[in-house]
Structure 1
Amino acid sequence: MLVKTPTQSLSAQLAARFAERIATGLLAPGARLPSIRLCAQQQGVSPSTVVAAYDQLLAQGLVEAHRHRGFYIRNRALALIDKALPAINSDIGNAPNTMPASGFAAQHVPVNATALIRGMFQGGSDKPQPGLGVFPPDWLDTPFLPGAIRRVTSGPQLKAFSLQYGEPAGDAGLRQALSARLNTLAIAASSEQIITTVGATHALDIVSRTLLRAGDCVMVEEPGWAIEFARLDALGMRILPVPRGPDGPDLAVMARYCELHSPKLFVSVSVLHNPTGYCLSPASAHRLLQLANAHNFVIVEDDTYSHLAPEHATRLSALDGLQRTIYVSGFSKILVPGWRVGFLAAPTHLYEQLLDTKLLATLTTPALLEKALAWCIDQGQLRRHAQQVRTRLDQARGRSVTLALAAGCTFVAPPAGLFGWVDTGVDTDALAQRMLDKGYLLAPGSLFHATRAPGTLMRINFCTTQDTAFWQMFKTVRACM
């Protein structure tokens, strides 16, 4: 609620609220602000107050007015360019760096990765946050982690780990444990094919920087992880969005891309796809590998949610034997977000190139945390913890689905894994802004597309949507729309 104070007017407070959301990425470039009348109703202020607030945002270069259409969030980089070089056309580079299925020219993605991360993980509310992409901290609180740290830091070991760099490819014990873990997934990878990284995102970045150059075409599943779209765009890649269906990516679209653009890479989530929860079928996997062989592109398989999925789920790296695939995973989602331990398993002929890229970026990775994680894996602690999380998640998913259906949502994909992909029936970009005023952070569907456009879908976290108070507020806000 906005309350006038002796030092700050209502219009200044409203402008500051929108400015903060723009800065954190909660209002992305291209998003439309509520109409003056609607904003006045939402905020409980007069239309003149909203006009004054929007004028302040215009003066700051944060928004632009389109005649008869309203106010839209500007690209901050363009705003700075316009101030420095007034002669430059402000429309240059204002559209996303994607290439549609028809294969026309690429432009810029309207998603800032760091701003999106800050927005998704910023504090400010003690309510469960439906839009978060992680487990709540209490789900990951385990008694064995302190013991693992004590074990690897006892005696002279702490000094040895602290006063010298770790092994270039990562701790040998952890790589052996990871090799054994991959064998349970039918992925034959020796420890000499594994490189540890600073989380799975770092592994994806190593692959991109090793195999791609600015201007190269990369196929990425859509809907997909917003950070991956933004990360590739920041590296100057040309993004080719591939529609993701229940059985896998649209192979006809991929074949057309291969004919027109000769893509170098395809980034895929085979198991418990984010945000849909889909899993790749064996038939689609087989045809996808045939396509990769025919057109000579590499497949990066992001298996971030592997600990939540059945071991028998179809994985490209298992079928391919790590010939044309690179397997990526990590432990931030299931066990230790703060430790930032991830890894990749690669074909032998690419291993040294990938390792060189890691060394140029980080030299090595923290041996102490890697050794502690290896102990957790070897002692079966991680396996038992993951089973407990899966059981708890199954129960949470059931409650969340019941509440979502009762609130009038429909599931676009069968509920599976950590996330639900639901249709709300209203513009979720607008819904997200209204719910943010109530203390709830949503993940509107537009975040998961290369070209951010309004829609009615949103991703929910099953762990954080078991709260009836959230769904009651959701129904109230949606009814007002």
Structure 2
Amino acid sequence: MLMKSAAQSLTEQLSARFAQRIRDRLLAPGARLPSVRQCAAQHAVSPSTVVAAYDQLLAQGLVEARPQRGFYVRETRQEPPAPPAPAGGAGPAAPPAGGAAALPAWGTATGAAAPRPAPIDATALIRGMFHQANDKPQPGMGVLPPEWLASSFMPAAVRKVVQGRGLEQFSLAYGEPKGDSGLRRALSAKLAALNVHAAPEHIITTVGATHALDIVSRALLRPGDPVMVEEPGWAVEFARLNALGMRLLPVPRRADGPDLEVMERYCEAHQPRLYVSVSVFHNPTGYSLSPGSAHRVLQLATRHGFHIVEDDTYSHIAPTHAPRLCALDGLQRTIHVGGFAKILAPNWRVGFLAAHPSLIEKLLDTKLLATLTTPALLEKALALCMEQGQLRRHSERIRTRLDAARSRSVKLALQAGCRFAAEPAGMFGWVDTGVDTDALAQRLLDEGYLLAPGSLFHAERKPSTLMRINFATTQDAAFWKVYARTVRSMA
């Protein structure tokens, strides 16, 4: 709460609070501040105090006033250059028939680029993950709680690897370019259990799964290339591709897979080079791909010549029998990406990709240019954990614990008046709150809770009543009481 103080006025306190959140990127560029009336009621101050505080933020260049619309966090970054028009000056594709989502027009009849809304700033969510202001469970976090991940076998594996001259051996020389051979053998065996058959020499280790996605993008794409992405989807992937200058083509994600009609129209109109997909336990909805949709997606890829990157980040908590594009395709047009941050050790940053032999050297060259090699010490320790079955047993314990957490979280969310927009599954829930979740997120920051509002999961900023919750961190009844009270006050 704001307190009257001789050292700092209420206006200065309120202005400083918003300024700090903007600088910490907890309020993303383009986010709307609460209305003067809402902010005054929320902080128990007069409207004139709010107006004066917003004026101070304007003077500092942190926000901008939009007539008849309110105050918005100022966009300070420069927009990427507009993509070139299609060859021959072709006009924009016609919108899909039958009520399907409209396709974005990347060019006009005269060849001029159409203006694009600013992409969502995913760093707001990432910085929020690192901004632990208190010890409360955070509903918007993207990882499992540290106490869930803690184990005795990981430290033991590291000690075994560094015993004798191990530490010197793995520290004073570069590792293998493709990654530790022992880990690649273990990964090959793991993938085989998912019916994804990749020899160790066709696997490359990376600094986490995000690095693997980046390697694929840099190796196979050039600025301006069209890339199909699932929407809602992973905010970090949207922002990363946008920063590389790619043209994002959002494909609505449904319960059984992507909207295939929209994908086909994209293929005909824009000839996309890549499709990025989370087939199993999709983030944020929890959806998993059906065999029929998987078959049709692969048919489109073969017919139109694009590659598919399948991000299997949640494979450790997913059923082994779940349909995967890479298993059906045999890595012909698909590239498998995975990592261990969600299940084992977020800060070890060990990931990998598996691809067709014809792509491996190009992907390896891209890895070498960015990181040379990856840390052999942690890779060898991880290989040991996998070979001895410790990772498998650890994953089984996490799945059991997550199932119980999901059941409790769903019950609490429903009691608080939420509606699930997708059947609860996996690690995340896609929840409809009935109110603007950008505004809700700002209100709950004052209560010490970090949310992941729905606008973060769209390729272009748009208001949303949805939010993503982490089932592992929303078992606290105290949060849901605060949530329900806040939603009632907003309504």
TM-score by length of 1: 0.94
Q: CA deviation at 1:94?
A: 12
Q: Is the 8 A contact 1:411 1:421 kept in 2?
A: yes
| Aligned residue type for 1:102 | L
User: How many angstroms apart in 1 are the aligned matches of 2:210 and 2:58?
Assistant: 36
Q: 1:392 corresponds to which residue? A: 401
Q: CA deviation at 1:24?
A: 2.9
Q: Is the 8 A contact 1:109 1:230 kept in 2?
A: no
Q: Is 2:39 aligned against 1:39?
A: yes
Q: 1:152 corresponds to which residue? A: 161
Q: CA deviation at 1:46?
A: 1.4
Q: Is the 8 A contact 1:103 1:260 kept in 2?
A: no
| Aligned residue type for 1:389 | I
SS in 2 for 1:195: strand
How big is each residue's C-alpha offset from its partner over 1:406-446, in whole Å with a ceiling of 9 and x where there is no partner?
11111111110110111111111111111111001111111
Q: 2:191 corresponds to which residue? A: 182
Q: 1:84 corresponds to which residue? A: none
User: How many angstroms apart in 2 are the aligned matches of 1:348 and 1:256?
Assistant: 30
Q: CA deviation at 1:61?
A: 1.5
Q: CA deviation at 1:93?
A: 7.0
Q: 1:193 corresponds to which residue? A: 202
Please show how residues 237-386 of structure 1 align to structure 2 within 5 Å.
Answer: 237-386=246-395
SS in 1 for 2:258: coil
User: How many angstroms apart in 1 are the aligned matches of 2:65 and 2:386?
Assistant: 56
User: How many angstroms apart in 1 are the aligned matches of 2:310 and 2:103?
Assistant: 25
Q: 1:462 corresponds to which residue? A: 471
Q: 2:6 corresponds to which residue? A: 6
| Aligned residue type for 1:188 | H
Q: 2:176 corresponds to which residue? A: 167
Q: 1:83 corresponds to which residue? A: none
Q: Is 2:60 aligned against 1:60?
A: yes
User: How many angstroms apart in 1 are the aligned matches of 2:307 and 2:37?
Assistant: 51
| Aligned residue type for 1:260 | A
| Aligned residue type for 1:45 | V
| Aligned residue type for 2:32 | R
Q: CA deviation at 1:110?
A: 3.2
Q: CA deviation at 1:123?
A: 1.3
> Which of 210, 221, 224 does residue 230 from structure 2 map onto?
221
Q: 1:139 corresponds to which residue? A: 148
User: How many angstroms apart in 2 are the aligned matches of 1:221 and 1:370?
Assistant: 31
User: How many angstroms apart in 1 are the aligned matches of 2:265 and 2:344?
Assistant: 40
Q: Judge which range, 350-359 or 10-19, deviates more.
A: 10-19
| Aligned residue type for 2:51 | V
Q: CA deviation at 1:258?
A: 0.8
| Aligned residue type for 1:44 | A
Q: Is the 8 A contact 1:29 1:110 kept in 2?
A: no
Q: Is the 8 A contact 2:186 2:383 kept in 1?
A: yes
| Aligned residue type for 2:56 | Q
| Aligned residue type for 2:52 | A
Q: 1:104 corresponds to which residue? A: 105
| Aligned residue type for 2:318 | A
Q: Judge which range, 57-66 or 435-444, deviates more.
A: 57-66
5+ unaligned residues in a row in structure 2: which ranges?
A: 85-91, 93-100, 107-113
Change (3 A) 1:353 1:218: same
**How big is the alpha-carbon RMSD for the aligned residues of Structure 1 and Structure 2?**
1.7
5+ unaligned residues in a row in structure 1: which ranges?
A: 79-91
Q: CA deviation at 1:44?
A: 1.3
Q: 2:413 corresponds to which residue? A: 404
User: How many angstroms apart in 2 are the aligned matches of 1:465 and 1:285?
Assistant: 32
User: How many angstroms apart in 1 are the aligned matches of 2:53 and 2:395?
Assistant: 49
Q: CA deviation at 1:464?
A: 0.7
Q: CA deviation at 1:95?
A: 11
| Aligned residue type for 1:216 | D
Change (3 A) 1:420 1:295: same
How big is each residue's C-alpha offset from its partner over 1:7-26, in whole Å with a ceiling of 9 and x where there is no partner?
32221221121122222333
TM-score by length of 2: 0.92
How big is each residue's C-alpha offset from its partner over 1:274-297, in whole Å with a ceiling of 9 and x where there is no partner?
000000000000000000000000
| Aligned residue type for 1:21 | R
Q: Judge which range, 255-264 or 21-30, deviates more.
A: 21-30
Q: 1:85 corresponds to which residue? A: none
Q: Is the 8 A contact 2:117 2:461 kept in 1?
A: no
Q: Is the 8 A contact 1:109 1:229 kept in 2?
A: no
User: How many angstroms apart in 1 are the aligned matches of 2:214 and 2:102?
Assistant: 25
Q: Is 2:51 aligned against 1:51?
A: yes
How big is each residue's C-alpha offset from its partner over 1:237-263, in whole Å with a ceiling of 9 and x where there is no partner?
110000000000011101111111111
Q: How many residues align?
A: 467
How big is each residue's C-alpha offset from its partner over 1:309-365, in whole Å with a ceiling of 9 and x where there is no partner?
000000000000001000000001100111000000011100000000000000000
Change (3 A) 1:208 1:413: same
Q: Is the 8 A contact 2:80 2:243 kept in 1?
A: no
